[in-house]
Structure 1
Amino acid sequence: MEKYDYIKPIVEKNDAKIHLLGVAQLHDEYEISNLTNKLRAVREAILHNNEYISYETHQCENIAAKILEVAHTRNDDIMIINATLDKAWYKFFGGSYTQQIVNHSKIPVLSVKPSLTPELLKQRKQYFAAEAQHYCPLTMQPL
Structure 2
Amino acid sequence: MDTQAVQKILVPIDFSESSMNALHTAIGMAKRQHAQLILLHVVNISPLVNNKDDGTMISDSNLQTLLDTHQTNLRKLADKITNEEFIDCRAIIRTGWVCPEIVRATVDFYADLIVMGKHGVSGTKEFMMGSNAFNVLKNAYCPVLLVPSHRRFEAFKTIVYPIRPVEGAIQKYSMARNLLRENDAELIVVGLLENGEKASFEMLSQETFKLDKKLKEDNLKSQTGFYYCDSVVAKVLEKTTDFMADLLIITASIDHHIQDYYVGPFVQQIVHYARVPVLSIRPKPADAFVVKSINEDEENSEYPYPVQMLGII
Relative to the length of structure 1, the TM-score reads 0.69
Structure 1's consecutive aligned runs of 4 or more residues displaced over 2 angstroms after TM superposition are: 83-90, 114-117
Shift of 1:46: 2.1
Q: In 2 relative to 1, CA 88–18 (structure 1 residues): closer, same or farther, beyond 3 Å?
A: closer
Aligned length: 114
1:82 is aligned, of 228, 251, 254, to 251
Q: In 2 relative to 1, CA 4–28 (structure 1 residues): closer, same or farther, beyond 3 Å?
A: same
Aligned equivalent of 2:218:
49
Aligned equivalent of 1:102:
271
Q: How does 1:106-125 map to 2 (within 5 A)?
A: 106-115=275-284
| 2:182 corresponds to 1:13 | yes
List alignment gaps of at least 5 residues for structure 2.
1-169, 287-313
- Letter in structure 1 aligned against 2:274: S
Shift of 1:8: 2.1
Is the radius of gyration larger for structure 1 or structure 2? 2
Shift of 1:4: 1.6
Aligned equivalent of 1:129:
none
- Letter in structure 2 aligned against 1:61: D
Aligned partners of 2:252 and 2:258 also within 8 Å: no
Q: SS of 1:2's equivalent?
A: coil
| 2:268 corresponds to 1:72 | no
Q: SS of 2:172's equivalent?
A: helix
Q: In 2 relative to 1, CA 89–72 (structure 1 residues): closer, same or farther, beyond 3 Å?
A: farther
List alignment gaps of at least 5 residues for structure 1.
118-143
Aligned partners of 1:78 and 1:107 also within 8 Å: yes
Q: Distance in 2 between matches of 1:23 and 1:52?
A: 20
| 2:202 corresponds to 1:33 | yes
Q: Distance in 2 between matches of 1:14 and 1:88?
A: 29
Aligned partners of 1:3 and 1:80 also within 8 Å: no
Shift of 1:23: 0.7
Aligned equivalent of 1:63:
232
Shift of 1:24: 1.2
| 2:173 corresponds to 1:4 | yes
Q: Distance in 2 between matches of 1:98 and 1:69?
A: 15
Q: In 2 relative to 1, CA 14–39 (structure 1 residues): closer, same or farther, beyond 3 Å?
A: same
Q: SS of 2:215's equivalent?
A: helix
Shift of 1:115: 4.1
Q: Distance in 2 between matches of 1:18 and 1:97?
A: 21
Aligned equivalent of 1:126:
none
Aligned partners of 1:23 and 1:32 also within 8 Å: no
- Letter in structure 1 aligned against 2:193: A
Q: In 2 relative to 1, CA 8–65 (structure 1 residues): closer, same or farther, beyond 3 Å?
A: same
Shift of 1:7: 2.1
